[in-house]
Amino acid sequence: MRRFALIAIPYFWLLILFLVPFVIVLKISLSDVALARPPYTPQLDLSAGWEGLRAFFSELDFENFVFLTTDDLYWKAYVSSLKIALVSTLLTLLVGYPIAYGMARAPNEWRPTLLMLVILPFWTSFLIRVYSWMGILSNEGTLNTVLLWLGVIDTPLQIMNTNTAVYIGIVYTYLPFMVLPIYSALEKMDESLIEAAEDLGCSKLAAFWLVTWPLSRNGIIAGCFLVFIPAIGEFVIPSLLGGSGTLMIGKVLFEEFFSNRDWPVASAVAVILLLILIIPIILFQRNEQKAREAEG
């Protein structure tokens, strides 16, 4: 009984915070747009009893999903979002891994300070930080001014309003989410493992590839998920730092909801996005599970 209660708590929250909203979104995605409040039909009318319920279900259809396939804007936005999220996850990993490695190898008394410094940016508003990047990256921004003054370039670099700016923004914003899990994996690692690898004939680089990297794998996977999943639906960064050419599904979603007030199509976009994210994750988890079971 106690065990049941313990398990029930997370499931309860999962139900309230994930499943119920998802069912609502799914329901809206199957409805039709209407000039009403809320802006879709049918509405569920429980007072009409059984008949009302049947009438409600008979009016739901997959029209909006079919609509998404007719306009190539949507799939282009999906592909572009996937690409941007993937590239920025890799970039975050490239930047974050050395940071985490350095932190894990730092003297013990330094580690809390370094950890603090990684988390420190969270203490200011996310929006302010993105705006300050606009100040840095714009044509008259700090970066261009410094580069011009140094004579590295003679015309300002166009970074602002390009995909590059979006990458910079995403890498910057999500870096702590990459650093922390990798740091925790590396910190747990017994340093004598590296010595053992070297003792058995590995160069320092080989020891890293054969021991450190595989042992930080779990941290890397967790970090990549933590960056990739929010990055793919990112809205603020592409709309503030990206240009008109930056196509991301978060932006499309926003347009559908607030500019077009087409909640059903927007919901359909959201449902597809969810499937894109969840299906690979489930497959991955199952794969891991199998590997674990095969081990014993």
For other proteins (CB under 8 A), the number of binding residues is 20
192 touches other proteins (CB under 8 A): yes
Considering the complex, what minimum distance in angstroms separates the CB of residue 77 from other proteins? 39
- CB count within 10 Å of CB 229 equals 16
175 or 197: CB nearest other proteins: 197
CA 237/CA 137 separation, integer angstroms:
13
Residues 194-233 contacting other proteins, CB under 8 A = 195-203, 206, 210-211, 214-215, 217
54 or 217: CB nearest other proteins: 217
Please name the residue that has the structure tokens 């794969």. Answer: 287
CA 226/CA 207 separation, integer angstroms:
27
Record the tokens describing residue 13, joined without a space.
Answer: 């929250």
Residue 41 phi, psi (nearest 5): -130, 160
Question: What distance lies between CA 218 and its chain's CA centroid?
Answer: 17
Please, what is the Cα angle at 266 between 125 and 77, to 5 degrees?
75
217 or 290: CB nearest other proteins: 217
Binding mask 227-266 for other proteins (x = CB under 8 A): ----------------------------------------
Q: Taking a C-beta distance cutoff of 8 angstroms, is the pair 143, 136 a contact?
A: yes
Considering the complex, what minimum distance in angstroms separates the CB of residue 105 from other proteins? 15
- CB count within 10 Å of CB 148 equals 15
The interface region with other proteins, picked from 8-16, 59-67, 120-128, 191-199 by CB under 8 A, is 191-199
Residues 65-124 contacting other proteins, CB under 8 A = none
- Residues at the site binding other proteins, with contacts judged by CB under 8 A: 190, 192-193, 195-203, 206, 210-211, 214-215, 217, 295-296
